[in-house]
Structure 1
Amino acid sequence: MSLLHNPGFRLFWGAQTVSMVGTNMTRVAIPLLAASTLSATPFQMGLLQAAQTIAFLLVGLPAGVLVDRSRRRPILIICDLLRAVLMAAIVIGFLLDLVTFTRLLAVTLLVGLATAFFEIAYQSYIPVVVGRENLIEGNARLESTNAVSRLAGPTLGGGLVQLAGAVATVSVQAATHVLSALLLSRISTPEATPERTEQRRMGAEIREGLRFVLRDPVFRAITGSAATYNFFYAVSLPLVMLLLVEEMGLSGTAVGLLMAVSGVGGVLGAAFAGRLGRRFGQVRTMWTSYLLTVPTALLIPFAESGWQSLLFAAPWFTMSFGIVVYNVGQVSIRQQLCPPELLGRMNASVRFLVWGILPLGSVTGGALGEWLGVRGALLIGGIGMSTGVLWLVLSRLRPLRDLPAPAPSPSADGTTLRA
């Protein structure tokens, strides 16, 4: 039976959608407030950008422990309400002319901390709502709205800023988090309270989560491929705008249209992920989608204006399609194999390793751009992203068609696989 007939999933899907749209609107409205109202310097803008994402490095691992010690739905509701209050504080502060850059930076960091807890608890709550037998469909539907929100959130944020101003836009963002909390509060799917075992130190529990991810061969391959892709994607991303504007000489409208094809590819990837998985097998679909789509990034450095802009648009679309299909598969495998009592720490450990590498990739990309030029650095980025699939094709996942069997215990050194 389709998950669309599951009232708990419909509420969860709706909450995730409005919450993600609000989160992605934040990435436009807050920087615009800083630039237009506070006259922030480039260095301050960089600090503000870092404050939105650094939370996974600061609290990601402890957050996983706390998520595993608690029911996940209350954490999601609290995080949504906290973000709504913080957004409302920004609005009130600007209306009363009380906001300084330091205060805005502090509030942005707190919003990032709440978002880190929300996203770790969110991925750990999915198996509760849909059941492990419906993870593929559930993750595909959720990933589709993630892709739409990444495309629509900044667009809505930018449009609202232009029409009503940045302060009004932040008010709308606060409302999206309140609506998400209300939808989550209506979910009636039973969620067991984690058993209270002997009191353990947080450091020991953090190490257990990291050890599970790094020692298990399947989790190690998935995390290694994702971290490799993310590092070299971060190398490439700052250079893409320079390629489009300085090297190809495109207008702002043309740049926006070319960048938007990524969102379209992501939406289609989420729509087809389930069908491809059923046709070819989930494990096989996961790694072949990466293998067949990501190497198209090697064409991007050769893009020029005119018809040769297709050398950018086609890979940008194709990569997004393939990576979303890959994400649906790898997230489902992680949720299927991980023992329920480790879900929070597993998700936190993976986020810590995979997202924590992004700042290093950005710095490396800037240095390579200075040394090799924009096109040379983008070629290095494309080669690096393409090599990430080696973690998968050289692992025990490659000969499999469908999901491996669940790991027998959190402390197991390996994972039992089923062909």
Structure 2
Amino acid sequence: MLGAPVSREAAHGRVLIPALAISRLGNEFYYLATPLLVYDLSQSSTAMGIQYAAEYLPLTVLPLIGVVADRISRMKLLLTSDIVRIIMLLVTPLLLKQLGAGPGSLILMSLLGLLLTFWSQVFEVGLEASLPGVVGRENLGKVYSQLSAFGSGARLIGPALAGWLVSLIGPPNVLLLNALTYGATLVAVAHLWRAGVFRHPVSDASGTSTGFSLRQAAADAKEALEFIFVHPVLRSLSLVYFILMVGVQFGMTLLIFYYRDVIGLAAESVGLLMTVSGSAQLALASLGSWLQKVVGKGRLVIAGIACAGLGWIITGLIPAWWGLVVGCVLLSAPQAPVSATVNTMQQQATREELLGRVSATTRWLAWASLPIAALTAGAIAEAVGAQAMLIISGGVILVAALIGSLSPLLRVP
């Protein structure tokens, strides 16, 4: 007996989602191989800090990336970003071999971090702006839940696989494997483009893109900001996520230090807790679409944030094994369904011609707090200690949940 017919949008998702899952796994390779490579080259914590700073810099131009995503073909953005990332990751190991250990190699790694983060943001903004047209707005909840599940799976198995590969073939060769994973999305996007899936963004009333200038870019970015601040749901999401990210950064800045230096956990125990974290995310990720229907999107986001806040507080209050495990599960499990739901709400609330700008600007508004929060966390922890800092982190996150519960988010079905 023949199965139910598959819609055109569902067929597009079946092409794109597995490719994205492969590239997400490749990202985990990069996240492990790069700091190890920089440390091997420098044996310096300062060099590690410079590397992370280089990877933060491209976040400052996210609104401009959104403007571009709404002005030119999103398909071209996706293809170009994949091609550039593949070339960079293929060339870097060869250049490192020529340069050897020294300042030249460290400068090269910082440039790789800066440029790879920039083009990865170009890809992600272009992808988010394209998804409603590729898979259909009515399917966004399901698609984002699937992507969250694959992302959680990548975070679960990726670090262990990357660690094994690093020990087997070395960090530079792991970067080469990362390049191959981006080839999966390159092939998928090219296939969908040939099938006529990607539409050119609508930038004016006639349906054709207008010219691009600095003044026009500023006007476009302003239009996105105004749209976000006028729209009650998007405005509420931006405020809640800004506060949420401050709390999360407070905790993440000191979590490993708390595990290792305050509690005295061995590296193997820290790894086990990271596995618990990934498993908790994976367990709820596939239920995101169902939870949206049962609980409602707004309530799911608020409850998930509150759950994460309690997890941070328990982690700080109860350093015993059972407290660490319970805290880890509570702060990790909601991440995937909350993220999927927020993306769905954002895109369903946004007009087609603003998708790129709104996606990039909301990211920018949320992530603008990260560098400040990281520096502030260190300063506060010097005064009150890492354990108290985790409790403060949970408190800040609970404030975000409280604000969400008093906002229009609560009424989003």
Once the 2 structures are TM-superposed, how far is the Cα of residue 299 of structure 1 from its aligned partner? 0.9
8 Å Cα contact 2:309/2:393 also seen in 1: no
Aligned equivalents of 1:4 and 1:287: distance in 2? Answer: 34
Greater Cα offset, 88-97 or 203-212: 88-97
8 Å Cα contact 1:3/1:138 also seen in 2: no
1:52 to 50, 55, 71: 55
Give the partner amino acid of 2:72: S
8 Å Cα contact 2:74/2:200 also seen in 1: no
8 Å Cα contact 1:294/1:323 also seen in 2: no
Could you say which residue in structure 1 is the equivalent of 2:204?
none
Aligned equivalents of 1:167 and 1:399: distance in 2? Answer: 50
Could you say which residue in structure 2 is the equivalent of 1:393?
405
Could you say which residue in structure 1 is the equivalent of 2:24?
20
Matched, 1:128 2:140: no
Once the 2 structures are TM-superposed, how far is the Cα of residue 9 of structure 1 from its aligned partner? 0.8
Q: Give CA deviations for 1:139-174 in whole Å, capped at 9, x if unaligned.
A: 100111122223333332222111111121111111
TM-score (norm 1): 0.89
1:255 to 261, 270, 274: 270
Give the partner amino acid of 1:49: Y
2:247 to 232, 235, 243: 232
Matched, 1:70 2:72: yes
Could you say which residue in structure 2 is the equivalent of 1:154?
159
Q: 1:5 to 1:120 in 2, by over 3 A?
A: closer
Give the partner amino acid of 1:311: G
Once the 2 structures are TM-superposed, how far is the Cα of residue 198 of structure 1 from its aligned partner? 4.8
1:268 to 283, 308, 311: 283
Once the 2 structures are TM-superposed, how far is the Cα of residue 134 of structure 1 from its aligned partner? 0.8
Could you say which residue in structure 2 is the equivalent of 1:350?
362
Once the 2 structures are TM-superposed, how far is the Cα of residue 68 of structure 1 from its aligned partner? 0.6
Aligned equivalents of 2:109 and 2:323: distance in 1? Answer: 40
1:192 to 199, 206, 230: 199
Could you say which residue in structure 2 is the equivalent of 1:317?
329
Once the 2 structures are TM-superposed, how far is the Cα of residue 236 of structure 1 from its aligned partner? 1.0
Q: 1:157 to 1:52 in 2, by over 3 A?
A: farther
Q: 1:197 to 1:182 in 2, by over 3 A?
A: closer
1:116 to 117, 121, 127: 121
Greater Cα offset, 341-350 or 74-83: 74-83
Could you say which residue in structure 2 is the equivalent of 1:412?
none
Give the partner amino acid of 1:68: D
**How many residues were matched structurally?**
396
Aligned equivalents of 2:312 and 2:124: distance in 1? Answer: 28
Aligned equivalents of 2:381 and 2:403: distance in 1? Answer: 27
Matched, 1:138 2:140: no
Q: Unaligned regions of 5+ residues in structure 1, if any?
A: 403-419
Greater Cα offset, 287-296 or 357-366: 287-296
Aligned equivalents of 1:192 and 1:108: distance in 2? Answer: 31
Could you say which residue in structure 2 is the equivalent of 1:210?
225
Give the partner amino acid of 2:292: G
Matched, 1:7 2:11: yes
User: Partner of 2:99: helix, strand, or coil?
Assistant: coil
Once the 2 structures are TM-superposed, how far is the Cα of residue 293 of structure 1 from its aligned partner? 4.5
Could you say which residue in structure 2 is the equivalent of 1:43?
46
Give the partner amino acid of 1:132: R
8 Å Cα contact 1:3/1:130 also seen in 2: no
Could you say which residue in structure 1 is the equivalent of 2:234?
219
Aligned equivalents of 1:180 and 1:153: distance in 2? Answer: 18
RMSD: 1.9
Aligned equivalents of 2:288 and 2:378: distance in 1? Answer: 34
Could you say which residue in structure 1 is the equivalent of 2:388?
376
Q: 1:330 to 1:3 in 2, by over 3 A?
A: farther
Aligned equivalents of 1:122 and 1:155: distance in 2? Answer: 28
Greater Cα offset, 293-302 or 345-354: 293-302
Could you say which residue in structure 1 is the equivalent of 2:96?
94
Aligned equivalents of 1:196 and 1:310: distance in 2? Answer: 59
Identical positions, percent:
24
Q: Unaligned regions of 5+ residues in structure 2, if any?
A: 202-206
Aligned equivalents of 1:130 and 1:219: distance in 2? Answer: 22
Aligned equivalents of 2:7 and 2:336: distance in 1? Answer: 20
8 Å Cα contact 2:276/2:328 also seen in 1: yes
Structure (1 or 2) with the greater helix fraction: 2
Could you say which residue in structure 1 is the equivalent of 2:33?
29
8 Å Cα contact 1:40/1:101 also seen in 2: no
Give the partner amino acid of 2:65: A
Q: How is 1:269-288 mapped onto 2 (pairs within 5 angstroms)? A: 269-288=284-303
Once the 2 structures are TM-superposed, how far is the Cα of residue 175 of structure 1 from its aligned partner? 1.0
TM-score (norm 2): 0.91
